[in-house]
Amino acid sequence: MIPKVLICFTVIDLHFGKVYTQEEFDELCFEYGLELDEVTSEKASLEKERGSVVIGNNLCEQEVYKIDIPANRYDLLSVEGLSRAIRIFKAEIDQPEYKIEKPLGVLHQILVKKETASIRPFVVGAILRDVTFNVDSYASFIDLQDKLHQNICRKRTLVAIGTHDLDTISGPFEYRAELPKDIKFRPLNEAKEFTAEELMTLYATNSHLKPYLPIIQDKERYPVIYDSNGVVCSLPPIINGEHSKIKLSTKNVFIEATATDHHKAIFFKSLICQYN
């Protein structure tokens, strides 16, 4: 499957620092080696994909550009990455230089319990500090995670990425594998707590989450990440906890990536870290 990125034309103008006509932006993409697949809207694109009318107030009906992205260029899956790459190519900005430096403040740990070895044996973490979200950048951040999950993460079978508001939880964190009946928390966007066992029934009819249930459903124990106060951060690769949900006001983001392969986990984590 060819990865695609959908970008509202007003957001393009903001990130590229220039107002482009459709023809000019098509030429810009061609010059860089990309293809402007079509001009549509988020709602129309989803209706075309599902083959039915989509009802919902959260879908954008503004004009958006759908751009085909090469299979090996996951850094272009967000408007931030795409605009940065093209502006570097056009010599409008300098190429960023990434350095590994010892972070300021508290160093956090993820303690891994041996029981996780038989399910999803690897976990890595990272922290994005002093982040400033607006409505567009927040939506782009969430959308980037979803695109990575659907493509290179192989629908979460290889890697599942969780993002959390660090200021609502405390380290050190623990990556455990527990019996489904013993895992109880309030999952993302739900009003009450469920056991992991109950969630498998709840999400059996959820079109978004149902495809991921078989990844762990037949396991004796499920992977789960706790903070030092016993708060469930996530039940990977299914759902995050409501407690640590990131919001527009979030300033520090804790990222955890559980995986079946250590190198892939590190790679996916780095893609999210390069977002801003």
Q: How are beta strands 173-178 and 222-226 bridged, if at all?
A: antiparallel
Q: How far apart are CA 174 and CA 176, in angstroms?
A: 6
How far apart, in Å, are the Cα atoms of 114 and each of 98, 141, 155, 218?
34, 32, 25, 19
Mean pLDDT of the chain, nearest integer: 85
Which CATH number is 158's domain given? 3.50.40.10
pLDDT digits (tens, 9 = 90+) for 159-202: 999 999 999 999 999 999 999 999 999 999 999 999 999 999 99
pLDDT digits (tens, 9 = 90+) for 67-123: 888 888 888 888 888 899 999 999 999 998 877 777 777 789 999 999 999 999 999
pLDDT of residue 147: 86
C-alpha dihedral sign at 70, 74, 75, 79: positive
pLDDT of residue 239: 97
CB neighbour class for 140 (10 Å; exposed up to 12, middle 13-18, buried from 19): buried
Domain boundary among 90, 118, 138: 90
Whether 102 is in a domain gets the answer no
pLDDT of 276 over the 60 cut: no
Whether 24 is in a domain gets the answer yes
pLDDT of residue 214: 96
pLDDT of 58 over the 70 cut: no
Q: Which residue has the higher pLDDT, 216 or 17?
A: 216
Q: Which residue has the higher pLDDT, 40 or 29?
A: 29
pLDDT of residue 60: 56
The residue behind tokens 């066992």 is 197
Question: Are both 74 and 153 inside the same structural domain?
Answer: no
pLDDT of 253 over the 70 cut: yes
Instruction: State the residue range of the domain holding 131.
Output: 110-273
pLDDT of residue 54: 43
Question: Are both 83 and 145 inside the same structural domain?
Answer: no
pLDDT of 65 over the 70 cut: yes
Question: Are both 244 and 124 inside the same structural domain?
Answer: yes
Picking from 238, 246, 235, the residue whose alpha carbon sits closest to that of residue 272 is 246
pLDDT digits (tens, 9 = 90+) for 210-232: 999 999 999 999 999 999 999 99
Is pTM beyond 0.85? Reply is no
Question: Are both 146 and 221 inside the same structural domain?
Answer: yes
Question: Are both 150 and 49 inside the same structural domain?
Answer: no
Lowest model confidence (mean pLDDT) among 14-28, 39-53, 139-153: 39-53
Centre a 10 Å sphere on the Cβ of residue 29 and count the other Cβ atoms it contains: 18
Whether 103 is in a domain gets the answer no
Question: Are both 57 and 178 inside the same structural domain?
Answer: no
How far apart, in Å, are the Cα atoms of 126 and each of 98, 129, 154, 171?
15, 10, 21, 12
Average pLDDT over residues 229-246: 97
Average pLDDT over residues 58-64: 64
CB 3 within 8 A of CB 71: yes
Question: Are both 55 and 122 inside the same structural domain?
Answer: no
pLDDT confidence tier of residue 55, bands split at 50, 70 and 90: very low
Question: Are both 126 and 261 inside the same structural domain?
Answer: yes
Q: In the chain, where does DSSP find H-type helix? A: 9-16, 22-32, 42-50, 79-89, 135-150, 196-202, 262-273
Whether 126 is in a domain gets the answer yes
Domain count, the chain: 2
Is 145 strand, coil or helix? helix
Which residues pair with residue 178 across a beta bridge? 222
pLDDT of residue 3: 63
pLDDT confidence tier of residue 11, bands split at 50, 70 and 90: confident
Question: Are both 71 and 165 inside the same structural domain?
Answer: no
Copy the structure tokens of residue 84.
């940065």
Q: What percent of the chain has a predicted confidence (pLDDT) above 70?
A: 84
Q: How far apart are CA 219 and CA 215, in angstroms?
A: 9
Question: Are both 152 and 61 inside the same structural domain?
Answer: no
CB 148 within 8 A of CB 78: no
Lowest model confidence (mean pLDDT) among 28-32, 40-44, 91-95, 164-168: 40-44
Q: Which residue has the higher pLDDT, 34 or 151?
A: 34
Which CATH number is 14's domain given? 3.30.56.10
